[in-house]
């Protein structure tokens, strides 16, 4: 998945679940999600589940910090980096379930 | 006894023992001691001394715990604020408590520059100050201020609960007697350091020479990661709001794994714990289960240990009887003490009752909790209800009026009503906003507005714009109707 695709999927999920649809299209890649309380300790868990189930990327506890979740841009970078690592760790010819 | 003496004593005897850790780092007692001395010296050079206040603004970390120790060593008091708290609110706290200095982190410091009085230095708390430093250990009187915890205030401004060394120690002393922690114990710290639950985790661990393992706020409600943490850190004593335990059981697979080998006590406080969850927990671990009760103003003043007979109850657990050297009783509206089977407001008197709210006259005599309890026939109390509009969201006190006042201050908002939806781990704040005439406030604009003025735990999760607010027959806002609508998000926007 490209950066743009990942970014769009994550933005879409945040708009739908945490911003009542974001009618006025205010969400940007650099909107400070933690600082403005769009993401909090409870719904970050929901976003993690979305990333695991829909983007097939597991986020290890070490990576769950304020820096990696501050905005859509940094979440996208994290997911992209983890996706590469996790793909490299999967033996060739197998597919993760 | 001074609250800062424990670390000094353990460091002298056994400097290599682990004191505090989080996923990014750890400090032994020896290093914690040395660095606290170095930071204390630095603060002293900047003019901080006995009786002063120092605000700490940072995400939880071993360094923050070190900074708290440094401040106490000067005979000064620390005032913790969460790293996620907005800079203007932190600046308000600095002003309100007349802080002598602010300790923070490089990521946050630029945000507050220009907002502080010129004579209040702002420093990086983790700055490398070297270690060659003579010990600093100012003796504090029992009634000297140790820390201030700011909580939600009904009038729209937060209140600073002032806690003395005597207040804090009376509670820690009880914990040490009750749990008899040893150096091999490993305490979890789930609560933010701004929340009084953390006082147990830190100071009971230090009193025993044990270690405390900090859970970063981003991890605090991530169910599977939290369960992994409990196992990887081999926690022996856990203390949190019930929501965190419920979440681990429901979504984290806590019960599907054998308990960590050393787990011997699970403590919870801050809100009622569904009895079904208590049953599941008791079926999973043989660790002691303790229900603790007490507002920030008194810390823990009653507790109840779960016994097998409790598991047959269909009501929440009792909050139990007095601890920490306190006396507690239920007072009926006519001022007399309630008897068995009767209800009344819980009053607390004794060594844990706060000095007072910062900036207000000192508190004297018993503290009225605002909690209605029932006196149980077998002794002890059961929590019934609140007297006022204060609500709890995962153990945090929230005055709805404070959140409403902030929303209503936005230029696009005519009126706002905030209600709590759900309970326990699913509790969240929902706001109904009536826009000003011809105005179209944006969801993010309002979130930004509130986030710049309120701490993270007071932020609304659901935001509904309405064309009208429902009224009761006597013209008051119909909060019950709004709460009902908020439970069904699909219809809430159609009001």
* Assigned token pair, B453: 């003025």
d(CA B467, CA B196): 40
User: Distance between CA B391 and CA B379 in Å, rounded?
Assistant: 27
Instruction: Note down pLDDT in tens along chain B; length 495 residues.
Output: 899 999 999 999 999 999 999 988 999 999 999 999 999 999 999 999 999 999 999 999 999 999 999 999 999 999 999 998 889 999 999 999 999 999 999 999 999 989 999 999 999 999 988 876 789 999 999 999 999 999 887 666 789 999 999 999 999 999 999 999 999 999 999 999 999 999 999 999 999 999 999 999 888 888 888 999 999 999 999 999 998 999 899 889 999 999 999 999 999 998 888 888 999 999 999 999 999 999 999 999 999 999 999 988 878 899 999 999 999 999 999 999 999 999 999 999 999 999 999 999 999 999 999 999 999 998 899 999 888 778 888 888 888 888 998 998 899 998 899 999 887 778 889 999 999 888 888 999 999 999 988 888 899 988 999 888 888 777 778 888 888 888 875 555 545
Residue of B nearest to A66 (CA): B218
Gap from B309 CA to chain A (nearest CA, Å):
33
Instruction: Show the tokens assigned to A95.
Output: 């597919």
B453 chain-A contacts, CB cut-off 8 A: none
Nearest CA in chain A to B394: A42
The CA distance from A42 to the nearest CA of chain B, in Å, is 5
Q: What is the mean pLDDT of residues A42-64?
A: 89
B381-386 sheet: strands from edge to edge: B327-331, B343-349, B367-375, B381-386
B423 touches chain A (CB under 8 A): no
Domain B390-492: state its class: alpha beta
What contacts 24+ positions apart, CB below 8 Å, involve B415-418? B415/B469, B417/B469, B417/B477, B417/B479, B417/B482, B418/B460
Assigned token pair, B348: 């607390």
Best residue of A11, A39, A61 to probe chain B, by most B CBs closer than 10 Å = A61
- Say how many C-beta atoms besides its own lie within 10 A of residue A3's C-beta: 12
> Min CA distance, A24 vs chain B (Å)?
6
The CA angle B486-B487-B492, to the nearest 5 degrees, is 40
Residue A97 has pLDDT above 60, yes or no: no
Which pLDDT belongs to residue B489?
58
With respect to CATH, is domain A3-87 assigned 1.10.1200.10? yes
Q: Which chain A residue has the Cα nearest residue B107?
A: A67
Q: What is the pLDDT of residue B494?
A: 46
Domain ranges in chain B are: 5-385, 390-492
Interface contact flag, B23 A62, Cβ < 8 Å = yes
- Contact call for A37 and B443, based on CB within 8 A: no
DSSP for B472-493, written as a single string? -TTSSB-HHHHHHHHTSHHHHT
What residues of A are in contact with residue B451 (Cβ under 8 Å)?
A: 35-37
Residues, chain A, total?
97
Q: Domain B5-385 belongs to what architecture?
A: 3-Layer(aba) Sandwich (3.40)
Q: Which residue has the tokens 């009193």?
A: B207
d(CA B168, CA B3): 7
């Amino acid at each position: 998945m490209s950066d743009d695709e990942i970014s769009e999927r994550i933005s879409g999920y945040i708009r739908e679940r945490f911003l009542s649809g974001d009618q006025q299209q205010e969400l940007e890649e650099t909107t400070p999600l933690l600082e403005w309380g769009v993401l909090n300790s409870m719904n970050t868990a929901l976003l993690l589940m979305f990333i695991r189930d829909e983007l097939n990327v597991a986020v290890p506890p070490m990576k769950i910090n304020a820096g990696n979740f501050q905005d859509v841009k940094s979440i996208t970078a994290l997911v992209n980096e983890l996706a590469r690592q996790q793909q490299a760790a999967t033996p060739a010819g197998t597919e993760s379930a | 006894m001074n609250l800062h003496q424990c670390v000094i004593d353990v460091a002298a005897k056994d400097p290599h023992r682990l004191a505090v850790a989080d996923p990014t780092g750890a400090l032994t007692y020896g290093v914690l001691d040395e660095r606290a001395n170095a930071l204390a010296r630095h603060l002293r050079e900047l003019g901080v001394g006995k009786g002063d206040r120092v605000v700490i603004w940072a995400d939880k970390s071993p360094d923050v715990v070190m900074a708290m120790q440094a401040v106490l060593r000067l005979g000064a008091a620390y005032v913790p604020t969460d790293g996620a708290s907005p800079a203007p609110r932190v600046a308000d706290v600095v002003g309100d408590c007349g802080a002598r200095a602010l300790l923070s982190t490089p990521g946050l410091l630029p945000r507050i520059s220009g907002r502080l009085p010129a004579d209040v230095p702002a420093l990086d708390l983790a700055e490398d100050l070297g270690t060659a430093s003579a010990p600093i250990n100012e003796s504090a009187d029992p009634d000297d201020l140790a820390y201030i915890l700011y909580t939600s205030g009904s009038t729209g401004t937060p209140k600073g609960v002032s806690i003395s060394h005597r207040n804090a120690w009376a509670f820690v002393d009880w914990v040490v007697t009750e749990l008899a922690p040893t150096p091999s114990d490993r305490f979890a710290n789930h609560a933010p350091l701004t929340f009084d639950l953390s006082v147990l985790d830190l100071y009971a661990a230090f009193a025993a020479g044990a270690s405390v393992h900090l859970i970063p706020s981003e991890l605090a409600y991530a169910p599977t990661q939290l369960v992994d943490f409990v196992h990887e850190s081999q926690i022996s004593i856990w203390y949190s709001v019930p929501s965190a335990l419920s979440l681990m059981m429901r979504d984290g697979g806590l019960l599907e794994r054998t308990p960590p080998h050393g787990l011997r006590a699970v403590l919870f406080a801050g809100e009622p714990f569904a009895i079904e969850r208590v049953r599941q927990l008791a079926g999973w671990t043989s660790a002691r289960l303790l229900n603790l009760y007490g507002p920030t103003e008194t810390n823990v003043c009653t507790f109840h240990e779960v016994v097998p007979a409790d598991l047959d109850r269909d009501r929440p657990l009792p909050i139990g009887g007095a601890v920490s050297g306190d006396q507690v009783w239920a007072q009926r509206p006519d001022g007399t003490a309630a008897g068995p089977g009767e209800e009344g407001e819980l009053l607390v008197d004794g060594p844990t009752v706060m000095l007072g709210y910062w900036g207000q006259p000192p508190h004297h005599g018993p503290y009225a909790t605002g909690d209605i309890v029932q006196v149980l026939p077998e002794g002890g109390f059961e929590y019934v209800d609140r007297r006022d509009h204060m609500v709890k969201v995962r153990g945090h006190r929230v005055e709805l009026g404070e959140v409403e006042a902030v929303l209503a201050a936005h230029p696009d908002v005519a009126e706002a009503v905030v209600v709590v939806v759900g309970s326990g781990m699913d509790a969240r704040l929902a706001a109904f906003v009536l826009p000003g005439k011809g105005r179209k406030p944006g969801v993010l604009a309002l979130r930004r507005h509130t986030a710049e003025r309120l701490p993270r735990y007071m932020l609304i999760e659901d935001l509904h714009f309405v064309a009208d607010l429902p009224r009761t027959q006597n013209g008051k806002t119909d909060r019950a109707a709004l709460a009902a609508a908020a439970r069904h998000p699909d219809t809430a926007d159609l009001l």
